[in-house]
A and B are shown apart, each in its own frame.
Chain A
């Protein structure tokens, strides 16, 4: 790793910046999971948060290998750029990647496409994830979710317990005190662990800049074919992501603040082409990051419902 680990902006080694404090907390959490669980895995989507998680895992476990594989729940709706990035990163770090495909479950009849003409595969991710947990017997899964993303997350623990059905019970969460994490669990139970719970979008970008972490080009401004749909700029790709009736393709300079499925991630009209410009843009932003996720808009408690069902 070539990252900067010296305390920044101050000559003293005793000063601890907020990014270093957040990093230390995340490393501690990752090691705690490695010690308390038999079969963890790190959920990797190719998005910036999971890329930061990989860097944190390097900080926690290098020069040894990670004591867990990476797991990608592949919806089949990925940006091709994100998949290419994923494969290159995995090769660079020399770690194990497990890909579990939503399409395989749909083909088997164990997951269904949502009704409607242009379904999102958010819901079909749930049985796919649970199937992967069952197949590989994972007892802990790292996720890159942050509490600042959405209201339902603000009250979720860092160690978040799921029952046999992968469900989250918001009213029955374990108290979490000091830096003591209670990972005791029964057979069949598993937890989701969120090491960057206390980070904000701004923190993630600043950390990427501080650590000089490579991220997919989708995050930087580029020319892309999009259509305007319900007030948002929706990327256009190969079938089934083509334009719908009455929509006109426009080619403009955009970037993505968040990289999810092509079917449900809107682009931002932005000229920000490097990390400094992105940070400046985030600092001045008027809409939240998840505002670009069409899946959360379905109803006000959308995220809470999906979490209860086992969504990350």
Chain B
């Protein structure tokens, strides 16, 4: 296999590659941000794809290329290993695997991109879930020679579980199947059939070869039967502004800003990040859990007034009335409130070596709130390979997913995860080790 050698040659001989993007100052200041997730294993050509995106957008520098080259040579490789550009930790380099989520960055004049590069194997489900939690879009790689495999189904399921709004299925290595439309159509059909069971609203398919660059940045000359955009064109243009919930105002209070000293002695601001919805000066609000109502007197960032705030802005809000509010409280609208409750039904991904035990007490962190909880019930474990429910399950082990019922020591102010990822998610913390051991997505109240 000469994949890496060849891809390197491609990079250095392509006269249009790595010329640099034309960033005018104004354009750069008008860019938005897309966070996406790549899932797949080394064999899918994921490293090659990321390498090409980074290289073609000029995000790999010469000294980094040289470092990867010399590391390959000193390890005795015959060719430069492109994975060295992306696999950061020494343990990973020595074992030739990717064990943790790595974040990569590139930008085009239209957008800045953050890639959460996740390992693909089943034992790294927790890493993929971690990367997925902040992503707006997921890239799933399929090797055109192998079609939809168990791993593809698993990755698609996690994408839907974490409610990543956009999915791109990259049917890669088309060069190895003679750029065959028939092969591509068959894979696409198969994928659509099983994905119909998941809640994925936006799926785009791109036939490509990361190795040769076909349909990665530029449209392929080899697949004139494909009329869609190249991958990068899609990443630059997919509509993400609509992913934000502008309807349901939720503001978890993170920190109370109360200056000492005479100059600002009347200032009492509530610092936090807008979870969803729009807050405007003059809006009527209610504070939870107290139920006290007031109006927004001002919104500012670092003392500079703002007329309104949308997610995910971090702002400071002052109210007309002096009511008692502290960290963990939530501001919302009197006629649009989250559920306030202690009995919660949720899907959980277990992330620790020590299994989750029914009846055990943990700490939960939810928005800016913290509470203790007890796991009251494990309804079922979901077999991530078959997607069957295993109702006789007694615990959840590392990387297992299940539906649980918890009771918290005090009310949480939450929405279903499908409505709001911020107010609908919580993490579970082991009280002995202080480790984050579970990631949970709220379904609703337990019935």
Contacts and interface: CB of A to CB of B under 8 A. Distances in A.
Interface of A: 1, 3, 5, 8-10, 13-25, 27-28, 31-32, 34-35, 58-65, 147-148, 151-155, 170-171, 173-180, 182, 184-186, 197-198, 200, 202-203, 206, 209-210, 276, 279-280, 283-288, 291, 300-301, 304
B84 to A, nearest CB: 9
Contacts of A23: 314
Contacts of B313: 16, 20, 24
Nearest to B255: A31
Contact of A60 (B89, B90, B314, B429): B314
Contacts of A64: 257-260, 264, 267
Complex A-B, nearest 4 residue pairs according to Cβ-Cβ distance, in ascending order: A9-B30, A27-B314, A59-B302, A18-B33
Contacts of B272: 28, 31
Contacts of B91: 170-171
A286 B61 contact: yes
Interface stretch (B18-26, B152-160, B331-339, B379-387): B18-26
A194 to B, nearest CB: 11
Nearest to B62: A286
Given A63-B263, A197-B103, A14 B310 contact: yes
Given A184-B434, A300-B71, A173 B33 contact: no
B3 interface: no
Contacts of B32: 15-18, 21
A23 B267 CA distance: 23
A110 to B, nearest CB: 29
Contacts of B114: 198
A27 B306 CA distance: 16
A174 B352 CA distance: 10
Interface residues of B, number: 83
A62 B310 contact: no
B427 interface: yes
23 contacts: A3-B304, A9-B30, A14-B246, A18-B111, A21-B33, A28-B272, A31-B314, A35-B327, A62-B302, A63-B257, A63-B263, A64-B257, A153-B88, A155-B101, A171-B91, A171-B99, A173-B100, A177-B133, A177-B134, A178-B427, A182-B365, A280-B23, A287-B61
A178 B133 contact: yes
Contact of B25 (A60, A185, A200, A279): A279
Contacts of B86: 154
Contacts of A300: 67, 70-71
Contacts of A9: 26, 29-30
B11 to A, nearest CB: 14
Interface stretch (B229-237, B288-296, B418-426): B418-426
Given A8-B29, A10-B30, A203-B112, A154 B351 contact: no
Interface string B204-218: 000000000000000
A202 B306 CA distance: 26
Contact of A18 (B63, B71, B112, B327): B112
Interface string B415-447: 000000110011101000011100100000000
Given A63-B263, A64-B257, 13 more contacts: A9-B30, A21-B32, A24-B312, A31-B314, A34-B255, A63-B264, A64-B259, A151-B88, A154-B88, A155-B100, A200-B107, A279-B23, A287-B61
Contacts of A61: 255, 257, 271, 302
B303 interface: yes
A96 to B, nearest CB: 14
Nearest to A32: B254
B434 A186 contact: yes
Contacts of B254: 28, 31-32, 35
B365 A180 contact: yes
Contacts of A58: 302
Interface in B265-324: 267, 271-273, 278, 301-304, 306-308, 310, 312-314
B436 A283 contact: no
A215 to B, nearest CB: 17
Contacts of B23: 202, 279-280, 283
A158 B111 CA distance: 23
Contacts of A151: 87-89
A111 to B, nearest CB: 26
B352 to A, nearest CB: 9
Contacts of B421: 178
Nearest to A304: B90
Interface in B85-121: 86-91, 99-105, 107, 111-112, 114
A100 to B, nearest CB: 26
A43 B202 CA distance: 43
B267 A178 contact: no
B161 to A, nearest CB: 13
B390 interface: no
B191 interface: no
Nearest to B430: A184
A175 B88 contact: no
B422 A179 contact: yes
A175 B61 contact: no
Contact of B105 (A1, A25, A147, A301): A147
B368 interface: yes
Contacts of A291: 61, 63
